[in-house]
Amino acid sequence: MKQEFKIISSLIGKNSKILDVGCGNGELMKFILKNISNNIRGLEISKENVQACIQKGLTVIEGNAELDLGQFPNKSFGYVILSQTLQAFLKPEKVLFELLRVGKKAIVTIPNFGYWKVRTDLLFKGTMPVTENLPNEWYNTPNLHMCTIKDFVNFCNQRNLKLTKSISLSGNKVSHITRRNLNYKNLSSELGIFEIEK
């Protein structure tokens, strides 16, 4: 999703040091490298994706975010990005706190399970939702911990994590999520993009 990349990039200061956790095939890193900062590296669990990153000339470390973030010193990155991966971890809470230890700021995006299409799928079809952002069936989804935007906002508030930016993305429509419009954005957003500080 190109729009997501643009929003993430707009949050990042020029030439900052960046870690992309779960960087996949490196498309986001490539975008940032070209437009924002060449001081970026990725952590990726899939060998195939690591190969793809190397082919693109990106710096990538094969590893598992749940085990391998420990090797990075405190605040060693300006930004740590986690794009649509939080829901796939066994312990998302632990990973989130690791992101905030390693980075001064974390940028986390989550596919919103509260999106109206997801809700209607379940309501009318009575089957687990399959959408553009959630393309897998219940039996082969890597997503272990789906949440809604509202869940995530509450989660951060309960732990005193500062959401310095909260952005909603629906199609190509970008808007801000506020305390007032949270219920509505929780229904209308496909994706939530958050900048978090501890």
Partner 1 sequence: MNKIDNLNKYIVKEVLKLDCGKEISNFPIAYETYGKLNDKKNNGILIFHALTGDQFPGGKNPITNKEGWWNYALGPDKAIDTNKFFVISANVIGGCMGSFGPSSINPKTNKPYGSNFPVITINDMVNAQNFLLDRFNIKKLFAVIGGSMGGMQVLQFISNFPNKAEVAIPIACTASHSAQNIALNELGRQAIMADGEWDNGNYLQNGKSPSKGLSVARMAAHITYLSKKGLQEKFGRKLQERDTLKFGFDADFQIESYLRYQGSVFVDRFDANSYLYITRAMDYFDLTKQFNGNLSDAFKNSKTKFFIISFTSDWLYPTSENREIVIALNAIGADVGFIEIKSDKGHDSFLLDVPDFLSSVKNFLNNSYKNINETRV
The residue from 30, 63, 97, 165 that contacts partner 1 (CB under 8 A) is 63
CB of 49 to partner 1, least distance (A): 10
**Helix, strand, or coil here: 85?**
coil
Q: What is the rounded CA–CA span in Å between residue 71 and residue 68?
A: 6
Q: What is the C-alpha to C-alpha distance for residues 45 and 48, in angstroms, rounded to an integer?
A: 9
Contact flags string 9-48 toward partner 1, x per CB under 8 A: --------x-----------------------x-----x-
| Residue 175 within binding range of partner 1, rule CB under 8 A | no
Q: Is 78 in the site for partner 1 (CB under 8 A)?
A: no
Q: Which position among 11, 27, 31, 61 is part of the footprint of partner 1 (CB under 8 A)?
A: 61
For residue 120, the SS3 value is helix
Between 13 and 171, whose beta carbon lies closer to partner 1?
13
Backbone φ and ψ of 118, nearest 5°: -65, -45
Provide the 3-class DSSP secondary structure of residue 36: coil
Which H helix or E strand runs over 175? strand 173-176
**What's the start-to-end Cα distance of the chain, in Å?**
28
Task: Rank residues 47 and 180 by Cβ distance to partner 1 and give the closer one.
Answer: 47
Binding site for partner 1 (CB under 8 A): 17, 41, 47, 50-51, 54-57, 59-63, 71-73, 76
